[in-house]
Structure 1
Amino acid sequence: MENNIFYEGQVLWSQIDANVHLRHSAYADFCAQARSNMLNQLGLSLSEFNNKKIGPILFREELNYHREIGLDERIKVSVEISKYNRTNNRFSFRHEIFKENGVRAAVVLVDGAWMDIAARKLTTIPEEWKEIIERIPRTEDYQEVSE
């Protein structure tokens, strides 16, 4: 099992679909919570986002299933940054969702950026956040770009 686990929890009945396995949108919910937990642990809490009137926005979310996840299973979700653009602060994250036995159940890839939530436009991050972004765990194939 990989490191950089930022969410651990039980699959709830409300997260199961008609096929009696984890519904597709629950995977995205678990990954969003893992990203939030990771940023919070690094010092970017929800209140800090609100104070700066900045929030993350996703442009793309890709989910690749490997194994089913069932009711009451415990899962773990890792988060790593795979790409970061220092010029416009766009980012890509890779998440892996593991079953309680350590088997990888899914890989979720997301691309996004930061949005000024008052102006409703893309923005860059404050200077003091840049050091925090540098501490996000990185994938082995991490790419840094400047465009």
Structure 2
Amino acid sequence: MNHEQAQPPEAPEARARLSGAVGGMMHPAQTIIRPVDPYGPVIQDDDQVEFLEFGKTTLFDDQRKRVSIPSIQILIAQHTDGLWMWSTRVYGLMGGRGYRVGPKWGNFAPTHQDAIAAACNEIEEMRPGQDVIDWLDSLCAPEQLELFA
């Protein structure tokens, strides 16, 4: 009988990658991507999260009342180990997509600026309009990133 040894799972500090500059469009960001933990925590306390928001979208809530929410949100928070985490949310007339910031998702960056740039890259991969690209570029401008430092 042939018994193969199981391979050990990839370490949590699995891989660091430099995301950025695809066709000159993206923002360079050092990121540390860890495996998703399906039962991992997300940050529930909004006081621990920095929200960067663009635009407004009007949707209907569960009681069919109109509510106005940001069209795009970038959420940034610092993990207990000192790394920075990001998440993104995008809403439109037909609904939206996004996730709450937290270690569950494995999105880490060594600096606050890298986390913002990585979130900008994530939104840019969705092929947004020029107004959104201009906003993302303004967030990642060197003088703006110095303000976040």
Q: Which fold has the larger relative contact order, with Cα–Cα distance below 8 Å and residues 6 or more apart in sequence?
A: 1
TM-score by length of 1: 0.26
TM-score by length of 2: 0.26
Over alpha carbons, which structure has the higher Rg? 2
